[in-house]
Chain A
Amino acid sequence: MTTSRRKFIKISALGLGGVAATTSALNMFGSNSYIDELVKENVAKKFKRTPTYCEVCFWKCAAWTYTDEKGAVKKIIGNDNDPHCFGRLCPRGTGGVGMYNDEDRLKTPLIRTTVNGEETFREASWEEALDLIASKFNGIKEKYGAESLGLIKHGAPGAHLEHLYKAIGSDTIAEPAYAQCRGPRETGFALTFGSWVGSPEPTDIRDTKCLVLIGSHIGENMHNSQVQEMSDAIDNGATIITVDPRFSTAASKSTHWLAIKPATDIALMLAWMHVLIEENLYDKEYVKKYALGFKELKEHVSQYTPEWAYGITTIEPEEIRKTARAMAHAAPSVIVHPGRHVTWYGDDTQRARAMASLNALLGSWGRRGGFYFKESIKVPKYPHPAYPHPKWGWHEIGAQYPLAQMGITTEVVKASIPNPENKYPVKAWLVAGTNITKSIPNQKLLKEAIDALEFMVVIDTMPMDVTGYADVVLPECTYLERYDGIRSATNREPSIAVRVPAVPPKYDSKPTWWIAKQLGERMGVGEFFNYDDFEEVIEWQLQKMGTSLDEMKKIGVKNYPRTSGPLFLNEDETYNFPTQSGKIELYSQELKDLGFDPMPKYTKHPEPEQGFYRLNYGRAPMHTFSRTANNPNLNDLKSENNLWVNPKVARIIGLKTGQEVWLKNQDDIISSFGIKVRVTERIRWDSVYMVHGFGHKEKQLSRAYGKGINDTELISKIAVDPIMGGTGMRGNFVTILTENPHKNTEI
């Protein structure tokens, strides 16, 4: 009986395909620990562990990749000494094995070609693909200048390409992470406190007494250490105040949930400031000692009573007062969280300014339980010749937005559309690690720019919607298969982490450091890549930092003592904030001089017409943007997004949970695919909500293709932040179609 059953298992397992077949015997024994001998064998089994830091999202948690004696990747476990994860990865980090195992990965270089009048990709050797890119890029460089080569990037591989670009003389570099995501808060906080918020945010959540989340959904965004610290704060009995039109996971953990009308957050914050000042609850000593412009702010907010805000936000005046008092009661151990994805309505820098000013009134910046003074350790630069000076770059392209601190992707897109008045023509793109068709709004403009490009290269691990537009596609190996730069974390204490390949690259994929070096050599800047293997660079840097690759392979993470001073303000000493005035700027002369409001004002934003609903979007804890939708482990947890609809709306339209619908936006743009309705009380009647990152059009994504709706394709109306060029994307309205609009058309 036993023997025949084992035989049967082997046969059936073979039917499941390669990976399952080789591990099925282990499955049996591992999951049936009753067999003492086999349990012991399992217990004794030696896994090899290799350090890495995660690349499934931007939090970059340090971890160990476990491989078995056959060299197969078994699991990924967080590094206990890492301040980004404290030994606990999030579902995406744990599911990182799926990124490696995904059989839909890009496998070889691909070159666009025409067969019988139809455009298609053909497989190519690395030699041919790299030669082609180098010759095209060299051609563009000669004809227009290196500045016309644009780079759109995200994540660790971006650094290697940035080095390549700077070496060849281009600073035309941008990433959606700025103007499509966290840019406004960086500019807003820098204007107020003199420094960026940065990543991870220097929020002392674990010791806070009051955490205020404004549209920030920690727990649905798995910003690992913050999720962990929010849990500590819950344990410690902290007050949590969540402002969100949707009953988010964080809202469900909150002491106060303010179910605000969308697009009115600034009005609420002005009223909060009004209460803090009128009731004398603000931190008088702190403000007097460290802030400039209190008198102006006091006068400015005197008109913004809770009663005034009630008519705008729909939050009861008493609730506004009660929550303001709760914050003051906890102060200075209070955090008005800056949020992360904050490009909402076009006045986002001003909203960030309001948040920053609230924190200043509460005295939380530089205080325990508020914001700490972050510190990182500098990784020494591996020697290379000086970069040439480009004539123009991201700064000039985005010059219309005076306080942009990084390249504005949408401006690079515009500069790529031929226009005789454009002084900064971009002619080619290299897109790496970002699926821009799902991160950059206004698809019409994006397509127009892509059409006009003379050449486009995409580097990714997966075929994405964007890869379909490339002339050459280069398959990058995953983070488990490569070296990358040292991760120097900005945190309470400095720390570094290394990424060491646990397994060789699968298929014919390559690490981006290698791609950058190969292109550099072909473009005549080989002297910038003075190494055969990136391992040498890391080894050199680690030696300078008092460690070695050998040691780091054993420990993965190294923590350093602080050298920049105390974690919090030393009240006995004077402290100069890194602003122009050395003080916290409640009133911003810089904004005033540039013609902007020196203090935040509430602006009324458009509202949906009858039959339309505001399109809100957000995150699911098991996915990162659109990049994980096809990951077999993570797709297993959530394979498509749903359209959250309030029961009242569902009743009017006649919708049921599970029903497939399509969406049409205010500009008559219809979603490419359908989405299943989820009728829930967790959403307001004036909005619908979906998780971002689904609705993939790339058919080679066998699990993700056609599942759900891509919210970005419905975002055609953009409210641009005049201060820093951020693209406000929450002002799009959709109507719900119950009949398939594509019935008679093939997508």
Chain B
Amino acid sequence: MRYAMVIDTLKCVGCSDCVVACQTENDVPIGYCRDWITETVNGAYPSIELELKSERCNHCENAPCVRCCPTGASHQLNNGIVLVTGDECIGCGACIESCPYDARYQHPDGYVDKCTFCHHRLEKGQLPACVSVCPTKCMYFGDLDNPNSEVSELLKKRKYKTLAPEAGTKPHVYYLI
């Protein structure tokens, strides 16, 4: 089992529904977020390209946040999900600094927080809140170890990229381009 998320940038309209759905699902306080939208514009009028995409923790195979955590609060499950144990976290911020995706923030309650791939929903057989709400259905979630899963199929069929591959983190959020 190796969870991964695949996001189709050709369909994303950058509406931020994934952000609100995550906030209400996970009680993320207003002013903070576990996922967010980026907009990249290239070219000059009228030859322009626009890429919109939803970003979050990449649940990296080689996760710098896990390696640098002094207390072991940041850890990785066998299914690849990277989590933070709130009451083991001393809020030192090393993981925030180490993350090439800027995916972590300090919760007002003191600990570091980030995307969990909605671990608690997966246990109920539900998709992550962001995936299940997306009005463009541009987000896919599943098991990369299963060659027949939707995510595996998409990565076989479509051109894709990952973010900051040069960081060597082996991220598990893929972007169809």
Contact = CB atoms under 8 A, between A and B. Distances in A.
A621 B133 CA distance: 14
Contacts, number: 176
A681 B41 contact: yes
A39 B13 CA distance: 33
B26 A30 contact: yes
Contact of B16 (A26, A622, A632): A622
B48 A88 contact: no
Which interface residue of B11, B28, B87, B135 has the most chain A CB atoms within 10 A?
B135
Interface string A238-254: 00000000010101110
Contacts of A62: none
B108 A30 contact: no
A235 B108 contact: no
A633 B124 CA distance: 26
A485 interface: no
A280 interface: no
B20 interface: yes
Interface in B118-177: 119-120, 123-124, 132-138
A234 interface: yes
Interface string B4-34: 0000001101111101110111111111010
B50 interface: yes
B113 A632 contact: no
A91 B19 contact: yes
Contact of B30 (A28, A74, A633): A633
B27 A5 contact: no
Given A32-B87, A227-B135, A621-B14, 5 more contacts: A30-B120, A31-B116, A90-B15, A91-B19, A231-B11
Contacts of B17: 88-91, 94, 621
A322 B20 CA distance: 41
Contacts of B33: 636
A247 B45 contact: yes
B87 A681 contact: no
Interface string A1-36: 110011011001100100010011011101111110
Contacts of A74: 24
Contact of A222 (B15, B27, B51): B15
Given A5-B87, A94-B17, A637-B20, A231 B136 contact: yes
Interface of A: 1-2, 5-6, 8-9, 12-13, 16, 20, 23-24, 26-28, 30-35, 39, 42-43, 74-78, 85, 87-91, 94-95, 97, 219-220, 222, 224, 227-228, 230-232, 234-235, 247, 249, 251-253, 257, 259, 621-622, 632-634, 636-638, 646-647, 680-685
Contact of A234 (B11, B107, B120, B133): B11
A91 B16 contact: yes
A168 B52 CA distance: 52
Contacts of A637: 16, 19-20
B13 A681 contact: no
B15 to A, nearest CB: 4
24 contacts: A13-B108, A28-B86, A30-B27, A31-B28, A33-B119, A39-B120, A89-B17, A90-B135, A91-B15, A95-B20, A95-B24, A219-B13, A219-B15, A222-B15, A222-B135, A228-B135, A249-B14, A251-B50, A621-B14, A633-B23, A634-B20, A636-B30, A638-B16, A681-B44
B85 interface: yes
B30 A632 contact: yes
Contacts of B16: 91, 621-622, 637-638
Of A5, A222, A235, chain B has the most CB atoms within 10 Å of the CB of: A5
B136 A228 contact: yes
Contact of A31 (B27, B52, B75, B138): B27
A684 B45 CA distance: 7
Nearest to B122: A33
B46 A43 contact: no
A75 B120 contact: no
Interface string B104-116: 0001111101001
Contacts of A247: 45-46, 48, 50
B84 interface: yes
B96 interface: no
A453 B43 CA distance: 53
B27 A26 contact: yes
B109 A252 contact: no
A220 B52 CA distance: 12
A249 B52 contact: yes
A102 B43 CA distance: 41
Given A222-B135, A234-B10, A680-B41, A622 B119 contact: no
B83 interface: yes
Contacts of A39: 119-120, 123
A42 B120 CA distance: 7
Contacts of B108: 12-13, 16, 20
Nearest to B121: A43
Contact of A43 (B48, B123, B133): B123
A249 B132 contact: no
Contacts of A636: 23, 30-31, 33
Interface in B27-86: 27-31, 33, 41, 43-46, 48-52, 75, 83-86
A235 B11 contact: yes
B45 A31 contact: no
Contacts of B135: 85, 88-90, 222, 224, 227-228, 231
Nearest to A97: B24
Contacts of A12: 108-110
A253 B48 CA distance: 11
A94 B87 contact: no
A349 B49 CA distance: 33
Contacts of A75: 21, 24-25
Contacts of B136: 219, 227-228, 230-231
Contacts of A683: 45
5 nearest A-B pairs in the assembled complex, by CB-CB distance: A219-B13, A621-B15, A252-B50, A259-B46, A231-B136
B113 A31 contact: yes
A681 B43 contact: yes
Q: Which of A33, A78, A622, A646 has the most CB of B within 10 A?
A: A33
Nearest to B116: A33
B149 to A, nearest CB: 18
